[in-house]
Chain A
Amino acid sequence: MIGYVVQRILLSLLISAVAMVALFAMVRMIPGDPVTLMLGARATPEAIARLNAQMGLDQPVITQIGLWFSRIFSGDLGVDIWSQRPVVDVVLEALPPTLALTLAGIGWAAALGIPLGCYSALRPGTFTDQALSVVSVGAISIPPFVLAIYCLLFFSVRLGWFPVLGAGEDGDLADQIWHLVLPAFAVGLGWVGYLARLVRGSMIEAMGENHVRTARAMGLPPHRIVVTYALRLAIVPTVTMLGISIGGLLSSAVLVENVFSRPGLGTLIADAAQGRNYPVVQGGVLAAVLLFAIAMPISDLVIAWLDPRVRKSL
Chain B
Amino acid sequence: MFASLSDFARRDPLGFIGLMLVTMILFAGLFGNWLAPYAPSKIDVPSRLLAPSWEHLMGTDKLGRDVFSRILAGSALALQIGVVTVGLSVVIGTVLGLIAGYGPRWLDSILLLIFDTTYSFPTVILGLALVTLFGPSTTTLMGLVMLFLIPAYARLVRSSTLAAKGADYVLALRSMGASSGRILGIHILPNVIGPVIIVACMDVPAIIALEAGLTYLGLGVPPPAPSWGRILEEGTGSIREAPWIVVAGGLPIILATLGFTFLGESLRDRLDPKRKGRA
* A228 contacts the other chain (CB 8 A): no
Q: Please provide the chain B residues from 3 to 45 with a CB less than 8 Å away from any CB of chain A in the complex.
A: 14
> Which of B75-83, B86-94, B98-106, B123-131 lies at the interface with chain A?
B123-131
A270 adjacent to B219 (CB under 8 Å): yes
Please tell me which one of the listed residues B121, B239, B254 contacts residue A247 in the complex, with CB atoms under 8 A apart: B121
The binding surface of chain B is classed by DSSP as helix
A145 adjacent to B213 (CB under 8 Å): yes
B250 adjacent to A247 (CB under 8 Å): no
Interface size on A, residues (CB 8 A): 55
B250 adjacent to A29 (CB under 8 Å): no
Instruction: Contacts A146-B209, A270-B128 given; indicate if A153 touches B243 (C-beta within 8 A).
Output: yes
**What total of A-B pairs shows CB separation below 8 Å?**
135
* B246 contacts the other chain (CB 8 A): yes
A130 to B117, CA, bound (A): 36
* B167 contacts the other chain (CB 8 A): no
B250: chain A residues within 8 A (beta carbon) = 146, 149-150
Chain B residue nearest in CB terms to A270 = B217
A157 adjacent to B219 (CB under 8 Å): no
B117: chain A residues within 8 A (beta carbon) = 15, 18
B132 adjacent to A278 (CB under 8 Å): yes
Q: Please provide the chain A residues from 259 to 308 with a CB less than 8 Å away from any CB of chain B in the complex.
A: 259, 266, 269-270, 272-274, 276, 278, 281, 284-285, 288-289, 292, 296
A276 to B124, CA, bound (A): 17
Interface residues on B, range: 35 or more
Chain A residue nearest in CB terms to B218 = A274
A85 to B82, CA, bound (A): 40
B213: chain A residues within 8 A (beta carbon) = 143, 145, 255
Chain B residue nearest in CB terms to A147 = B250
B131: chain A residues within 8 A (beta carbon) = 273
A258: chain B residues within 8 A (beta carbon) = 216-217
B120 adjacent to A244 (CB under 8 Å): yes
Instruction: Contacts A141-B205, A145-B216, A259-B236 given; indicate if A130 touches B279 (C-beta within 8 A).
Output: yes
12 A-B contacts, Cβ less than 8 Å apart?
A: A26-B133, A30-B133, A140-B261, A143-B257, A145-B209, A146-B232, A152-B239, A251-B122, A254-B124, A273-B131, A278-B132, A292-B120
